[in-house]
Chains A and B, each alone.
Chain A
Amino acid sequence: MCSYGLLLLRVIYRRHIGIRSKKGPPSHIRKTRHLLALAILAGTSAFAGCGGRAYVYDAVDQPGFRERAETKTEATVRVSATVPGRDETKSVFGIDLYGQGIQPVWLEIVNAGDVQVRYAVVSTDRYYFSPLEVAYKNRGGFSAEGRSDMEKRFNELAMPRYIDPGETRSGFVFTHAALGAKGFNVDVFGNKTLHNFTFLLRVPGFMPDYANFDAATIYPADQVSSYDDDQLVDALRNMPCCSTDQSGQTAREPINIMLIGEGPELLKALLRSGWTETSAKEAAEQQPQYLFGRAQDAIFKYESLQGDSVYEIRFWLAPAMSGEDRVWLGQIRHFYLWGGSIRRFDPDVDNARDFAMQKFLYGQALQAIGWLAGAAIVPAESFWDLLINTPHFTDGYRIVLWLAADPVSAVDIDVKEWDPPPRRGQ
């Protein structure tokens, strides 16, 4: 019925408005036609409401994502959290929210104390979507009743902010989607107290590129050397300068970052600092870099808010340990969009290194940093020299970062007295 109406409107529009003709009628007629066009637009929107489908969804209390909920307790506040995957979200909300970059997070907060507490939604996502905003984005195609049902459901399922003494409240918060691992905070305020809960949850339906990587079996035990603090500097200085092609013969870009910490610490530090995982599928489509005779163990990325700039970090587990901690060698590179669509490699690789160091530092993920000079230096002059024209330039410094399991503020970061920090063009 509705589609007939729309078809009719289209025919009327074509016949009577005729905006396609180049020569165009006199301005007063055009004005009338524009008014008519507006009227038709209004008519169309009225018609769009005449049909459309009903809003259909499944109950929240179904087995699946709720069973994966993790629970944490601090003093008198208990928080459970879980993230439904793409299909589970479709079933609960009847809409493909993941397809729009929206990811619901389910929370349950129990207040066993004697004062009212407040949950701060911005602690989970600073730019969260409001429930009715999500409903409004998805109103297209539903009947008037369907839209109203949808608004009601999003409103009812929203996580409330205030939880009275003795009460348990639950609901959803609509966040920006993270595939793979989802790290977020849940801050709950009491009377001049703050309870901070940090969750790191796996989202079903995403296979990261490191899914099959196993730090325990990659090197035979007798090939891994352990260094004390004094030996470490020399050992790190002697690590390979650059990644290579598959044959191992041709050097490529510099290994300019080294990270010290266990695998789970590394993952936490990366996620806390705003880096995102790469899916196995996406990683397979990229040109691999080689080190220690194998392609990188993992790739992480950071895309700028404007989307015109990407920092990419690749890791290899090294056959070395600093005391009990693993050593990871990394390569950080920067790409930017040129002319709107062409991805260009930024030859200033030191900028990428310094950016990554700050990203970890502001993510409060560092215990200590140290600079090491002396790896393959490529002066800026040889990049600009038309005859030599190297693909990149670098001061040859590498940054060594000790990762922290818990947040560390800048005041408490230890700066190693190794080499003095580098300077541009020197």
Chain B
Amino acid sequence: MNVLLSHARLSLRLAALLLPFCLAGCAAGFDPKPMASVPFRDRAVTQADSGVRVTTAVPDAKESRELFGVSLYKKGIQPVWIEIENSTGADVLFLPFGVDSDYYSPLEVAALNRKRSARQQAEQLFFLNGVDLAIRPGETRSGFVFTNLDQGTKAFNVDIFNDDDTWQFTFFVSVPGLATDHGNVDFKTLYPDDRITHYTDAAEFIEALQQLPCCVKDSKGENNGDPLNLVIIGEPLDIYYAVIRAAWDETEVVSAASGMKTAMAFITGGKYRYSPVSSLYVFGRRQDIALQRIRENINERNHFRLWLAPMTFQGQSVWIGQISRDIGVRFTRKTITTHKIDPDVDETREFLIENLAYNQVLSQFAYVGGVGAAPIDSPRGNLTGDPYFTDGLRAVIWIPSKPKDLQDVRYIEWSDPED
């Protein structure tokens, strides 16, 4: 911790030393490249629906710097290129708000260029590369929406409307440059075919779920940690889209560079969104997928880990998982700093159910046993010594392949949670 602190201090000092020189013009010349020479549109994807055709591409950090002469990613800004072809015969309006409800204005982004002599050039560049709301009949228009940075996979909507109709296109565009936890796992070869049990009968399936381990383990498989209070059922790709849609960020694999970024975020209270999640073990291996949802700052986030289970239910893949809500950072001997979790782990489990439902990615849910109850006055502890209490139930969550309206979410009575 102290080493990290002194690194941080050093960087601050360096920045303070360099600042006066930068004002005098140490910044590299403002030298944006023409769009044709930056091949990010090779990755463009297109969707079309009744007279409207939308093509989008997301430049990565390097490409953005080349296009706009400023390191936009470092400032947490990600340009999204959108081209809209209108063959409807009427005016349509594009709503950049659907891409990001906190999108940046072109001149706000232009102000990131600190080279005074290039101020006007930068303003004009960003302004002219902005998007138009109006697209006339027969026309094709394109431009950039300046959004808040998402790494790994960028999920966004392109919403278009006019007096008679609305169009909504959902894009999942992968952005190069982030090693995510799930990226290293090959789910196809994880289990040999003969080790997978296929359940169709609910009673047998419930029995099997109750037999799954209660909790995560440490790397040696000796000590019990956080309770495994989630079971997720669905197609792997649907689950992946669902959690991204519900605004969960993929986490970066722990590495030297990402460790440094986390320490900086901890010190400044900043929002480094891809802070790596430490490894916990089930089935003798670390989590297959780790996701987190940032709240106010790094001290407050929800962690979510999933493992593919060696079973299917009615033809769909089954995952077991764990979710916890960080409510602060505390010092521990094992990991130097770790997150203090909300001891009411059932509260966090219920939050996940609601969060998925309100993002229209929950079709039905139920509860089964298997965790083992721990009342509030005799709590259990996780691997870092945080106490937790629980009713002992796991939430079983079905992820649909198409958006599901809130009022159509079904509750199946397997076990009943007590408040």
**A residues in contact (CB < 8 Å) with B:** 34, 37-38, 41-42, 118, 120-123, 126-127, 130-133, 136-137, 155, 160-162, 169, 187, 189, 191-194, 304-306, 309, 334, 336, 338, 344, 346-348, 351-352, 354-355, 358-359, 361-362, 380, 384, 410-411, 413-415, 417, 420-425
Which residues from B are CB-within-8-Å of A137? 327-328
Instruction: Tell me the complex Cα distance, A83–B415, Å.
Output: 35
Instruction: Tell me the complex Cα distance, A359–B408, Å.
Output: 28
Residue of A187, A334, A348, A417 with highest tally of chain B CB at under 10 A: A348
How far is the CB of B182 from the nearest CB of chain A, in Å?
Answer: 25
Report whether A120 and B357 are in contact in the complex, using a CB–CB cutoff of 8 Å: yes
Residue of B351, B354, B409 with highest tally of chain A CB at under 10 A: B354
Contact A41-B331, Cβ < 8 Å, known A309-B102, A348-B105: yes
Question: Which of B2, B97, B331 meets A362, CB within 8 Å?
Answer: B97
Contact A133-B106, Cβ < 8 Å, known A120-B354, A422-B134, A424-B127: no
Q: Which residues in window 316-344 of B have CB below 8 A to A?
A: 325, 327-328, 331, 340, 342-344
Q: Which residues in window 179-237 of B have CB below 8 A to A?
A: none
Contact stretch, chosen from B34-42, B63-71, B155-163, B303-311? B155-163
Q: Which residues in window 44-100 of B have CB below 8 A to A?
A: 76, 91, 93, 95-98
Which residues from B are CB-within-8-Å of A358? 95-97
- B31 on interface, CB distance cutoff 8 Å: no
Which residues from B are CB-within-8-Å of A37? 2
Chain B residue nearest to A345 in the complex (CB)? B107
Chain B residue nearest to A34 in the complex (CB)? B2
Residue of A127, A169, A354 with highest tally of chain B CB at under 10 A: A354
Q: Which residues in window 356-414 of B have CB below 8 A to A?
A: 357-358, 376, 406-411
Instruction: Tell me the complex Cα distance, A306–B159, Å.
Output: 23
- Total residues of chain B contacting the partner, CB 8 A: 62
Question: Which of B111, B134, B343 meets A338, CB within 8 Å?
Answer: B111
Question: Which of B148, B342, B344, B358 meets A122, CB within 8 Å?
Answer: B358
Report whether B106 and A348 are in contact in the complex, using a CB–CB cutoff of 8 Å: yes
Question: Which of A118, A304, A347, A411 meets B107, CB within 8 Å?
Answer: A347
Instruction: Tell me the complex Cα distance, A410–B162, Å.
Output: 9
Contact A420-B136, Cβ < 8 Å, known A130-B325, A136-B327: yes
Which residues from B are CB-within-8-Å of A42? 331
Chain B residue nearest to A126 in the complex (CB)? B358
Which residues from B are CB-within-8-Å of A414? 163
Instruction: Tell me the complex Cα distance, A419–B126, Å.
Output: 27
Report whether A161 and B350 are in contact in the complex, using a CB–CB cutoff of 8 Å: yes
Instruction: Tell me the complex Cα distance, A41–B280, Å.
Output: 28
Report whether B327 and A421 are in contact in the complex, using a CB–CB cutoff of 8 Å: no
Which residues from B are CB-within-8-Å of A34? 2
Which residues from B are CB-within-8-Å of A120? 354, 357-358
Instruction: Tell me the complex Cα distance, A172–B188, Å.
Output: 46
Instruction: Tell me the complex Cα distance, A304–B95, Å.
Output: 17
Residue of B2, B105, B134, B295 with highest tally of chain A CB at under 10 A: B105
How far is the CB of A41 from the nearest CB of chain B, in Å?
Answer: 7
Which residues from A are CB-within-8-Å of B342? 130, 132-133, 136
Report whether B325 and A122 are in contact in the complex, using a CB–CB cutoff of 8 Å: no
Give 15 A-B pairs besides A122-B354, A131-B344, A161-B419 with Cβ atoms closer than 8 angstroms.
Answer: A41-B331, A120-B354, A123-B358, A132-B343, A136-B327, A189-B407, A189-B409, A306-B148, A306-B271, A309-B102, A309-B104, A351-B107, A355-B97, A362-B95, A423-B132
Contact A121-B351, Cβ < 8 Å, known A415-B162, A420-B91: yes
Which residues from B are CB-within-8-Å of A420? 91, 134, 136
Report whether B344 and A155 are in contact in the complex, using a CB–CB cutoff of 8 Å: yes
22 A–B contacts from the bound complex (CB under 8 Å)? A120-B358, A121-B350, A122-B358, A123-B354, A127-B295, A131-B344, A132-B347, A136-B340, A189-B409, A191-B411, A305-B102, A305-B148, A309-B102, A352-B105, A355-B97, A384-B123, A384-B124, A410-B166, A413-B161, A421-B134, A423-B132, A424-B132
Instruction: Tell me the complex Cα distance, A143–B347, Å.
Output: 26
Instruction: Tell me the complex Cα distance, A336–B134, Å.
Output: 25
- B27 on interface, CB distance cutoff 8 Å: no
Question: Which of B103, B348, B406, B417 meets A130, CB within 8 Å?
Answer: B348
Label chain B's interface by main secondary structure: mixed
Report whether B97 and A132 are in contact in the complex, using a CB–CB cutoff of 8 Å: no
Instruction: Tell me the complex Cα distance, A354–B95, Å.
Output: 9
8 tightest Cβ-Cβ pairs between the two chains A and B: A358-B97, A421-B134, A415-B163, A194-B407, A160-B419, A133-B327, A122-B354, A336-B108
Which residues from A are CB-within-8-Å of B18? none
Chain A residue nearest to B114 in the complex (CB)? A339
Report whether B97 and A359 are in contact in the complex, using a CB–CB cutoff of 8 Å: yes
- B355 on interface, CB distance cutoff 8 Å: yes
Which residues from B are CB-within-8-Å of A346? 105, 107-108
Report whether A306 and B102 are in contact in the complex, using a CB–CB cutoff of 8 Å: yes
Residue of A133, A136, A354 with highest tally of chain B CB at under 10 A: A133
Residue interface mask B124-136, A partner, CB < 8 A = 1: 1001101011101
Instruction: Tell me the complex Cα distance, A309–B162, Å.
Output: 29
Instruction: Tell me the complex Cα distance, A131–B407, Å.
Output: 27
Instruction: Tell me the complex Cα distance, A348–B130, Å.
Output: 12
Instruction: Tell me the complex Cα distance, A347–B97, Å.
Output: 20
Chain B residue nearest to A354 in the complex (CB)? B133
Report whether A132 and B354 are in contact in the complex, using a CB–CB cutoff of 8 Å: no
- B11 on interface, CB distance cutoff 8 Å: no
Which residues from B are CB-within-8-Å of A415? 93, 162-163
Question: Which of B95, B128, B351, B410 meets A425, CB within 8 Å?
Answer: B128
Which residues from A are CB-within-8-Å of B295? 127
Chain A residue nearest to B330 in the complex (CB)? A45
Instruction: Tell me the complex Cα distance, A417–B133, Å.
Output: 16
Which residues from B are CB-within-8-Å of A187? 406
Instruction: Tell me the complex Cα distance, A354–B103, Å.
Output: 12
- B120 on interface, CB distance cutoff 8 Å: yes
Contact A334-B136, Cβ < 8 Å, known A41-B331, A358-B96, A384-B120: no
Instruction: Tell me the complex Cα distance, A132–B167, Å.
Output: 43
Report whether B410 and A192 are in contact in the complex, using a CB–CB cutoff of 8 Å: yes
Instruction: Tell me the complex Cα distance, A348–B103, Å.
Output: 14
Report whether A162 and B105 are in contact in the complex, using a CB–CB cutoff of 8 Å: no
Instruction: Tell me the complex Cα distance, A384–B148, Å.
Output: 27
Chain B residue nearest to A348 in the complex (CB)? B107
Which residues from B are CB-within-8-Å of A422? 133-134
Which residues from A are CB-within-8-Å of B111? 336, 338, 344
